[in-house]
Amino acid sequence: MALQNAYRVVFGGEFAFDAWFEDFLLGVGTPCPTLLDSAKDRFNSVVKLEDISESTFRLRSFAWAISGVPRRILDYLKLEVCLSNLVEDDDAQYGPGEEHSTSLQWYLLHGTCSFRTCLRKMHIPASYLIKLLKADYSPHSEPATAYQAIHNWLLLQILEAIGDYTII
């Protein structure tokens, strides 16, 4: 598995998706303030960045992006986050079929997550996650680490999805 290998090289140990995503959701603030500032114009006006330092901001934003509604998700409603096919990027649940392969390649290249609000699902392109894990980082720029890069990417994807149609 390419994702396991890339993760092991950077962080050591095995990739545990649940723990990794929970760590992101429990994070506070923005991992890359400059990158967030440069992306603000891509967010819907309903996104309130002044709340980003609140401990529940990421979790609330994720619930909003995945469900399409800015209210508490009832406990019995299932939220699902999926890594799109860990080896190949041809998962039919992630994006359009073969007739749209150019669009699909663009989405994968840019790490676009697919949100299916009616199903309360988020599909994360594993190939982009691997790309972030393998990239070189400088402590003098944003992001300075793979950890920051991944958290920043997820935060931006979630904030861009709020108040928009994001099915790929």
Stated pTM of the model? 0.81
Asked if residue 110 is part of any domain, the answer here is yes
pLDDT digits (tens, 9 = 90+) for 40-95: 999 999 999 999 999 989 988 988 888 887 766 555 455 555 544 333 455 656 66
pLDDT of 85 reads 34
Tell me, what amino acid is at 94?
Answer: Y
Nearest alpha carbon to residue 54 among 28, 25, 22: 28
pLDDT digits (tens, 9 = 90+) for 115-158: 877 777 787 888 888 899 889 999 999 999 999 999 999 999 99
Question: What six digits make up the tokens of 160?
Answer: 């861009």
Cβ atoms of 125 and 113 within 8 Å: the answer is yes
Which of left, alpha, beta for 119 (phi over 0: left; psi -120 to 50: alpha)? alpha
Asked if residue 150 is part of any domain, the answer here is yes
Asked if residue 73 is part of any domain, the answer here is no
Nearest alpha carbon to residue 15 among 28, 5, 26, 23: 5
Residue 99's domain comprises 2-67+78-161
CA distances for 15 relative to 106, 129, 144, angstroms: 26, 12, 21
Q: How many domains does the chain have?
A: 1
